[in-house]
Amino acid sequence: MKPRKIFLLPGDGIGVEIMAEARKFIAYMNDELKLGFICEEGLVGGAAYNAHGMPISDGDMRRALAADAILLGSVGGPEWDGVSYDLRPEAGLLRLRKDLQLFANLRPAICYPALASASSLKSDLVEGLDILIVRELTGGVYFGEPKEIIDLGEGQKRAIDTQIYETYEVVRIARVGFELARTRRGHVTSMEKRNVMKTGLLWNEVITAIHAARYQDVILSHMLADAGGMQLVRAPKQFDVIVTDNLFGDLLSDVAAMLTGSLGMLPSASLGSLDEISGKRRAMYEPVHGSAPDIVGKGIANPIAMIASLAMCLRYSFALNIEADRLEKAISAVLDDGLRTADIYVQGMQKVSTSEMGDAILEKFRLISA
């Protein structure tokens, strides 16, 4: 069996606390399920800045590039507020995404039945919700040039951002979306603004062509992104996989996130291209939330986003689908038992710490795997 190499980057703040929980699962899978994970560990964000004067060192970048998958906690915190823009903790994340060419960001919005009442929508609209938002991550208006503010004189300025997409960028994200839909309920909804944007027209044209050529077994729908936002809060369960660009994906995935309750529950994956020779895809897995400076060191952070990110890692980097399903079932079972960290606590439930939540999920995972 080939070793499965995971590079762990706990980062800052609660990243360190929730990574400690993820490590328990990796140790269990190695010791008892003999899955052969080899873990190295590095520094990213403020921790790397303190140690090396940069948000990720060249040595750790090399180790990240050599790994099969990266598991990251979170970066940032007030300690580094005064650090120059290029060296701020978040720049470590951006470098990882850029150098690993992670162009597809996957954000599942899953509403565990036990948490349906924590959603801002009515329970019956979100109970059992399972959407996957596939957001293009390395192109579009956040990166297009020119990107500048020009001083026009007489108190006037002109700010310019440029939205650019080329065919290959839409092709590769479309393929990720269609492939994933095949492993789910077989429905892709593509969202853009073809009514007012040229990039929307191209996006729509390319997705339609790829679908006709290679993915006719998947149902494809098109929706204008603004209508999509409305539908997400009106009837979210109509969606399976949503494929959209960087800007719309940023907004729509945050909207979908709020349907499910707490930030502490949301995992994510960022994937690169499939290497046809090795069959591997570069990938990084991380919770959606940040370093939560307001609760750091209190032992109350919710580790579920981190553990669910590990489940995504098992599924997408190592094709360990059975183990990934079991891990997700273990999370759901612990919530059904009424265990809650402070962020998702409601009266009548049992309040637990970060490590108690991790241990309880591990125990369920052990039972389900036996």
In 3D space, the residue among 362, 364, 360, 334 whose CA is nearest the CA of residue 349 turns out to be 334
Contacts of 157 (CB under 8 A, 6+ apart): 149, 150, 151
- Inter-residue contact 328 to 308 (CB < 8 Å): yes
Residue 90 interacts with ligand NAD (CB under 6 A): yes or no: yes
Residue 289 interacts with ligand NAD (CB under 6 A): yes or no: yes
Alpha helices (H) along 188-320:
198-214, 225-234, 246-259, 304-318
Binding letters toward ligand NAD, positions 8-27, x by CB under 6 A: ------x-------------
Residue 43 interacts with ligand NAD (CB under 6 A): yes or no: no
Q: Which of 145, 294, 348, 370 binds ligand NAD (CB under 6 A)?
A: 294
Q: Using DSSP bridges, classify how beta strands 267-274 and 281-287 pair: parallel, antiparallel or unpaired.
A: antiparallel
CB of 254 to ligand NAD, least distance (A): 11
Residue 67 interacts with ligand NAD (CB under 6 A): yes or no: no
Q: How far apart are CA 216 and CA 211, in angstroms?
A: 6
Binders of ligand NAD in range 93-132 (CB under 6 A): 93
Residue 264 interacts with ligand NAD (CB under 6 A): yes or no: yes
Q: Of 90 and 226, which has the nearer Cβ to ligand NAD?
A: 90
Candidates 25-33, 70-78, 219-227, 239-247: pick the segment binding ligand NAD (CB under 6 A).
70-78
Residue 77 interacts with ligand NAD (CB under 6 A): yes or no: yes
Q: Total residues contacting ligand NAD (rule CB under 6 A)?
A: 21
Q: Of 206 and 339, which has the nearer Cβ to ligand NAD?
A: 339
- Residue identified by tokens 């800007």 is 247
Q: And the tokens for 266?
A: 């949301």
- Inter-residue contact 63 to 40 (CB < 8 Å): yes
Helix (H), strand (E) at residue 326: helix 321-336
CB of 164 to ligand NAD, least distance (A): 25
Q: Which of 126, 284, 305, 339 binds ligand NAD (CB under 6 A)?
A: 305
Q: Catalytic residue positions?
A: 142, 193, 226, 250, 254
Q: And the tokens for 279?
A: 């069959």
Q: Of 241 and 300, which has the nearer Cβ to ligand NAD?
A: 300
Q: Of 107 and 315, which has the nearer Cβ to ligand NAD?
A: 107
CB of 79 to ligand NAD, least distance (A): 9
- Inter-residue contact 353 to 303 (CB < 8 Å): no
- Residue identified by tokens 């612990």 is 334
Q: Of 232 and 301, which has the nearer Cβ to ligand NAD?
A: 301
Q: How far apart are CA 331 and CA 189, in angstroms?
A: 28
Q: What is the DSSP letter of 344?
A: G
Q: And the tokens for 72?
A: 């990251």
Q: Which of 106, 110, 220, 292 binds ligand NAD (CB under 6 A)?
A: 292
Residue 91 interacts with ligand NAD (CB under 6 A): yes or no: no
Q: Which of 164, 263, 349, 368 binds ligand NAD (CB under 6 A)?
A: 263
Candidates 19-27, 116-124, 190-198, 294-302: pick the segment binding ligand NAD (CB under 6 A).
294-302
Residue 76 interacts with ligand NAD (CB under 6 A): yes or no: yes
Nearest 5°: the CA angle 296, 88, 273 is 95
In 3D space, the residue among 146, 149, 173, 179 whose CA is nearest the CA of residue 162 turns out to be 146
- Inter-residue contact 243 to 179 (CB < 8 Å): no
Residue 58 interacts with ligand NAD (CB under 6 A): yes or no: no
Candidates 57-65, 75-83, 209-217, 320-328: pick the segment binding ligand NAD (CB under 6 A).
75-83
In 3D space, the residue among 204, 182, 179 whose CA is nearest the CA of residue 191 turns out to be 204
Polymer length in residues for the chain: 370
Could you list the residues that contact ligand NAD (CB under 6 A)?
Answer: 14, 74-77, 90, 93, 263-264, 286, 289-295, 301-302, 305, 343
